[in-house]
Amino acid sequence: MKTSEKMIQEAIWAGLNDPSIDDKDADILVLGVPYDGSVSFRSGAKDGPRAIREITYTIPPTTEQFRSLKPLKIKDLGDIQAESRDDLFKITRTKIQEIVSRGQKFTVIGGDHSITIPVLQGINDALDEPFGIIHIDAHFDLCDTLEGDRLSHGSTERRALELENVSRENMFFIGIRSIEEDELDFITDHPVNVVSAYDFDKLKVDGVLKHVKDKLGHLNKIYITLDIDCLDPAYAAGTGTPQFGGLTSRQLLNLLEGLFDLPIMGFDLVEVAPNLDPAMTSVFAARKIITECFGHFLYK
Q: Is the pLDDT of residue 184 over 70?
A: yes
Hey, is 270 helix, strand or coil?
Answer: strand
Taking the C-alpha atoms of residue 104 and residue 98, their distance in angstroms, rounded to an integer, is 9
**pLDDT category of residue 1 using cuts at 50, 70 and 90:** very low
Q: Is the pLDDT of residue 50 over 50?
A: yes
The pLDDT score that the predictor gives to residue 147 is 85
pLDDT tens digits, 151-178: 999 999 999 999 999 999 999 999 999 9
Residues 233/242, Cβ–Cβ less than 8 Å: yes
The pLDDT score that the predictor gives to residue 3 is 46
The pLDDT score that the predictor gives to residue 148 is 87
Q: How many CB atoms lie within 10 A of CB 278?
A: 9
Residues 283/228, Cβ–Cβ less than 8 Å: no
The fold for domain 4-299 equals Arginase; Chain A (3.40.800)
Q: How many CB atoms lie within 10 A of CB 44?
A: 21
DSSP label of 208: H
Taking the C-alpha atoms of residue 117 and residue 145, their distance in angstroms, rounded to an integer, is 13
For residue 164, the number of C-alpha atoms closer than 13 Å in the C-beta half-sphere is 7
Amino acid at residue number 151 = L
In terms of C-beta distances under 8 Å and separation of at least 24 residues, what long-range contacts does 15-20 make, across chains too? 15/57, 15/61, 16/61, 16/69, 16/70, 16/72, 16/73, 16/74, 16/294, 17/74, 17/75, 17/76, 18/73, 18/74, 18/75, 19/75, 19/76
The pLDDT score that the predictor gives to residue 8 is 56
Residues facing 178 on adjacent strands: 139
Q: Is the pLDDT of residue 40 over 90?
A: no
**pLDDT category of residue 6 using cuts at 50, 70 and 90:** low
DSSP of 139-207 = B----S-BTTBTTSTT-HHHHHTTSTT--GGGEEEEEE-B--HHHHHHHHHS--EEEEHHHHHHHHHHH
Phi-psi category of 242—alpha, beta or left, where left has phi over 0 and alpha has psi -120 to 50? beta
pLDDT tens digits, 83-105: 999 999 999 999 999 999 999 99
Taking the C-alpha atoms of residue 200 and residue 196, their distance in angstroms, rounded to an integer, is 6
Q: Is the pLDDT of residue 2 over 60?
A: no
Average pLDDT over residues 114-124: 98
Taking the C-alpha atoms of residue 234 and residue 271, their distance in angstroms, rounded to an integer, is 16
The pLDDT score that the predictor gives to residue 5 is 57
The percentage of residues in the chain with a pLDDT greater than 70, rounded to a whole number, is 97
**Is the dihedral angle over the CA atoms 74, 77, 79, 80 positive or is it negative?**
negative
